[in-house]
Each structure stands twice: as C-alpha cells, then as structure tokens.
Amino acid sequence: MTAQPRLAFEGVRKEFDVRGAGAGQRFVALEDFTLAVAPGELVTVVGPSGCGKSTLLDLVTGLSAPTAGRILLDGRPVTGPGLDRGIVFQQYALLPWRSAQGNVELGLEGRGLRRAERQRIAREHLALVGLEGFEQRYPHELSGGMKQRVAIARSLAFDPEVLLMDEPFAALDAQTREQLQDELLRIWRATGKTILFITHGIEEAVYLGQRIVVLTPRPGRVRDVIDVDLGDRTVGSSTDLRSDPRFVAYRHRVWDALHDRPAATTVSAGEVAAEKEVAHV
Amino acid sequence: MSSTLASRPPVVADEPAFADPPTLGRRSVFQSAAGGRSVRHALAVAGRASVAIVAFLALWEVAPRAGWVDPVFLPPFSTVARTFAELVADGTLVTHTTTSLARAGAGFAIALVIAVPLGLVIGSSSRVSSYLTPFFEIFRNTAALALLPVFILLLGIGETSKVAIVVYACFFPLLLSAILGVRTVDPLLVKSARSLGIGRVALFAKVVLPSAVPTVFTGIRMAATSSVLVLLAAEMVGAKAGLGYFITYTQFNFQIPEMYAGIVAIALVGLAVNAVLVSVERRLSRWRAA
C-alpha cells in the first residue's frame, strides 16, 4: 500500500530580500524542493554551505513560511512551530542555567504534565541516550558529545512525529561523531522515529541515510535522490562499514552528484569555499 | 553600540552564550573548603590575600612615626584605629553610617525597581532599544556629580535631592545593563525554545530573563558602587549627617584622626556592599563554569 508520507515537501521555494541591495533584489535560497519522507524513514540531506539546508530546516520547523509551495506533516500544512517536530541543532542550544534533566523537561512544560511525570519522562530519555547518572549536571560540566545527547533526549522527550537534525555532529571530534552516529541509528531503531538529517558530510550522509537527498547551491535545489542499501547494518558488527566497497561506491556517487555543475557556470568565490567544506570530509 | 547589537549574527562557533562580567577572581577566594587539607589551603589563601594589606598598614604606621610625613596630617594607623573604635563605641560612626546607607539604599532601590523592568521591556524590542539606547548612553556618561548643583537648585539641600541624585546615578547603569542583557540573549536559545512551541511569555520567563541575569548583575554592581560614591560627595556639599558630612566636618574642625576613621568606615562599607552583591550573584549564577 502507498501510505501517506509523514513529511512532504511540494514545490517549496524560499526567497529572501537582499539587505543593502536595490528594491526587488531577491535571493532564492531554495527552489522547487519536492520530497516525501515515509513514516519511520531516515533521510539525510547533503549539500555544500549555501544550498539552503538551514532554510529548509526553518521551514519545516515553522519558524518561517515558504514563498511558494507547501510543507505537509501527516497531510496537514505546517503553519508554525509545534511539538510534533523535534529539532537538534549543531550548537546544542541547551539552556546553560538548567541541568541536563531541566533541559530535557523544557519541552514537556507546556503540556500540563505533573512534575513527577515530567521528571520520569526526562530521566527515561536521558537513559535512552546513555546519560544515566548525569541528570543533575549542568551543560558546562558535559562534553560536546554529551551535550548533543542531552539535546537529542530533549527532542525525543515530547514524542515528536519527526526529528529534524541540523548538522548535529559537525562540531564534534571524529571519534565522538562516529560514536554518536551509531547511537543515533540505535535510537532510531528503538523509537522508530522519522528523521530528517541535514549534513555537509558525504560519509555521514551515506552512513546514516536510507535515502540521500543531494542539494546544489544557489539556489538550493534537489540534484539527486539516492537510495542506500547497505544490507543489514546491525550496530556492533565487527566489519568496518565505511571501507565496504558498496559504501565507497555510494560515497562516490554522492560526491559525483555534488560536483556535477553546469559547464557554463563560472566558479565563484563562494563555491570554492563550499567545495573546500565538502572536500575536508 | 545598539547597531552592533541589532545586527548581531547568529552564534557560529561553540562560544559561551554570555559575556562573563568582571568578577576579578573573587570566585576562587570563596571556594568552599572541606577537610583538614583544605583548611590549610584556606589559610594559605587568606594569608596571600592579606600580605599587601598588612604591608600597607605597616607603612601607614611607620611613615608618620619615622617622620617621613607630618603626623598631624597623617596620624599613625594605630591612632586612627583607636579613634575608630571610640567613634564606634560612642555611636557616632554608627549613626552616620546608617544615615548614609539608608539614603544610598533608598536611591538604589528606587532605581532598581524602575530601571530594571523598564530596561527589560525596552530590550525586548530591537527597534525601541535602537532608538533609545544612544539617548540613555548620554545620561549614563554624564557624571551624576556634575548635576549635583541642578538637583540642589530644583530639590533643595534636604533628603530629597540626595536620594534623587543616587537614583539618577544608579538608574542608567541599571537600565542599560537590563537592555543589553535582553538584547544579547543567544538567538539560538530563542530559536530552539520557539521550536519547542514555547509562547512569548514563557519564552521571556524561561530563556530571556535567566540569560539576562549576569549582565543585569554587572549593572547592579556598577550602580551600587556609584550610589555610595555619589552620595558621599552630595553629603560633603550639604548635609547634617552621613559619612560624607562627617569627613568634611572633622576636616574643617581639624579632627584629623576622626577624619581618617570616617574614611576607613567608608572603605569598610564599600567592601561590605560588594561582598553582599557578590554572594547574591553567586547564588543566582551557580550554573556557570567556575
């Protein structure tokens, strides 16, 4: 059966006024973005900086509205922020004056839950992300990886339909990043959440995604959508998936898609910078 | 200033969300001690902290006795200390200190309850604060003492003018720090809270207000310092009680040890006020990295 997608983008376009430029100057951040994400799917969106990844996220969050097109969550248009979507930011966005527990409770406070109930849910989710025993720590007492775990727990605690992740592991060191990628896959399997994961790392996109959406910059549009089939990837398997030939092939395909530019385009300074950012992955 | 704040870009690096107000290393001095080893550690800290003070007092004692300075104009510290003790015992210093503290406290409290809420409201709107902040900066940077003649002309030399000038001196540091505190809230925290569906009122209470506390406290400390300073000067010009009055009065009457005792009292008042504020600030910002 063809079920209704959990999250659907229909020809989404987003323009901004260019500050300082003459009237009528519009910057197109995102153009004709169409995508359907099935319930329980983990989709990664990869693209260089300037391809409208953050714009895309703001639109799904409901913090800004598309210039044209629609975003549907379970068939209903997104009109504003809501607890049916949880967001994990690159910079954690934890309240520094609240403990790990307090940060996780933040999203639960508007729901009319009893205090004891909030605390129970928060503790459960901190345990889910492997932070049992760290409930009373303040963010400054936690490492980057642990902060991001708290942020993930916070976004899961209010049980959203969709988890949106904006380059969540980009600020972490390589080892912590790989560790958290495995954690995320484990949590995804355990909770069955629909996840839209934005990244500029090709490997990360291939490693996590069931499908990879490749964006091109200025304006951001879909270059390619790649289905990833790497077999049964059980966490803890001894093989190094990243050196598997199939993984390498996917990696190369995404790389090709990212670098395939129209021949007439002159390379601007911004694109060179974008290329560098991709190249370091 | 306001323009740079208004166009503050979103936080890109993993930087702390708040500027650390100057605490001048006091945190480390007050770190709690437990067990015999840390008692010794605390003694060592106290020892290091008092070396310079003891040396200064020794110099003060020796210089007049050795004839380096005229002992009439600078009596030895022991003489001043004895006079200080006598003035405390007969209640003179207590009366003048309470008078001064009552005036400074009243002015400070009035400024606090008006300026901080007003600043929080103004800061909530980037448009309003960009219009008003430069205007308020003028007032903050106009030394309150320069306006003392104006206050005396308008309000006379009674209590009103003295409390009023303290209110003035405290008002603008408090107002501007409250505006700044709200304006410099990490936009990412606001964005993240909004994405959690938190409404405007809850956003203000749960995100904006707590993150403004450290900045507001910087303003509170500045205001408290200037309230004492400005009040003393006002008391020196025209008053019948208060530490400022006491110092000028004793100077005119050539009661030099008494004058120094008054000065010592002022120093102690300043230290006490600062210690109280530091402890309140620590209580309110326990979540911050030590």
Model confidence at A164: pLDDT above 80: yes
Bridge pairing between strands A194-199 and A162-166: parallel
**Local confidence band at A199 (pLDDT 50, 70, 90 cut-offs):** confident
Rg, chain B, Cα only? 23
pLDDT digits (tens, 9 = 90+) for B87-101: 999 988 999 999 999
Model confidence at A138: pLDDT above 80: yes
Partners of B213 on chain A (C-beta within 8 Å) are: 97
Shortest Cα–Cα distance, A136 to chain B (Å): 11
**What stretch of H or E contains B277?**
helix B256-284
Domains and CATH numbers, chain B: 26-72 (no CATH), 75-284 (1.10.3720.10)
ipTM of the complex: 0.77
| pLDDT of res. B86 | 92
Shortest Cα–Cα distance, B284 to chain A (Å): 9
Does the beta-carbon distance from B195 to A85 stay under 8 Å?
Answer: yes
Q: Which residues have a Cβ under 8 Å from the Cβ of A30 and sit 6 or more positions away?
A: A12, A13, A14, A52, A55, A56, A59, A66, A219, A220, A221
More confident residue, A218 or A56: A56
What does the block give as tokens for B63?
Answer: 């210089």
Rounded CA-CA distance A61/A82 in Å is: 8
Average pLDDT over residues A181-194: 85
Q: Which residues have a Cβ under 8 Å from the Cβ of B186 and sit 6 or more positions away?
A: A93, B11, B17, B18, B211
Model confidence at A196: pLDDT above 70: yes
| pLDDT of res. A50 | 67
pLDDT (tens, 9 = 90+) of chain B, 290 residues, equals 444 444 444 433 333 333 333 333 334 434 444 556 788 888 888 888 889 999 999 999 999 999 898 988 999 999 999 999 999 999 889 999 999 999 999 999 999 999 999 999 998 888 888 888 888 888 888 888 888 888 888 988 788 888 999 999 999 999 999 999 999 888 888 888 888 878 888 888 889 988 898 889 889 988 998 898 888 888 888 778 889 999 999 999 999 999 999 999 999 998 898 889 888 888 877 777 54
Candidates B196, B215, B286: best to mutate against A (most CBs of A within 10 A) is: B196
**Residue among B224, B245, B227, B226 nearest B235 (CA):** B245
Rounded CA-CA distance B148/B229 in Å is: 13
**Residue among B58, B20, B17 nearest B211 (CA):** B17
Helices (H), chain A: 53-61, 100-106, 115-128, 144-157, 174-191, 202-208, 245-259, 269-279
Does the beta-carbon distance from B188 to A158 stay under 8 Å?
Answer: no
Partners of B18 on chain A (C-beta within 8 Å) are: 96
Shortest Cα–Cα distance, B9 to chain A (Å): 14
Partners of A158 on chain B (C-beta within 8 Å) are: 196
Candidates B192, B216, B285, B288: best to mutate against A (most CBs of A within 10 A) is: B192
| pLDDT of res. B52 | 92
| pLDDT of res. B21 | 39
Shortest Cα–Cα distance, B48 to chain A (Å): 29
pLDDT digits (tens, 9 = 90+) for A244-281: 777 777 787 877 777 765 433 334 444 444 444 444 44
Least CB–CB distance from B194: residue in A81, A98, A140: A81
**Residue among A105, A98, A154, A106 nearest A129 (CA):** A154
- C-alpha triplet B250, B255, B260: angle, nearest 5°: 75
Rounded CA-CA distance A205/A202 in Å is: 5
* Residue in B closest to A109 by C-alpha: B198
A88 with A170: CB under 8 angstroms? no
A40: DSSP letter: T
Under CATH, domain A7-84+160-279 is a member of which superfamily? P-loop containing nucleotide triphosphate hydrolases (3.40.50.300)
**Local confidence band at A239 (pLDDT 50, 70, 90 cut-offs):** low
Neighbours of B224 (CB within 10 A): 22
Least CB–CB distance from B17: residue in A96, A106, A109: A96
| pLDDT of res. B8 | 43
β-bridge mates for residue A35, sequence order: A9
A199 with A281: CB under 8 angstroms? no
Average pLDDT over residues A81-106: 86
* Residue in A closest to B191 by C-alpha: A63
Helices (H), B9-91: 26-29, 35-65, 77-89
Partners of A63 on chain B (C-beta within 8 Å) are: 191, 194-195
**Local confidence band at A145 (pLDDT 50, 70, 90 cut-offs):** confident
Rounded CA-CA distance B103/A209 in Å is: 68
| pLDDT of res. B264 | 93
Partners of B207 on chain A (C-beta within 8 Å) are: 95
| pLDDT of res. B268 | 92
Candidates A49, A85, A97, A165: best to mutate against B (most CBs of B within 10 A) is: A97
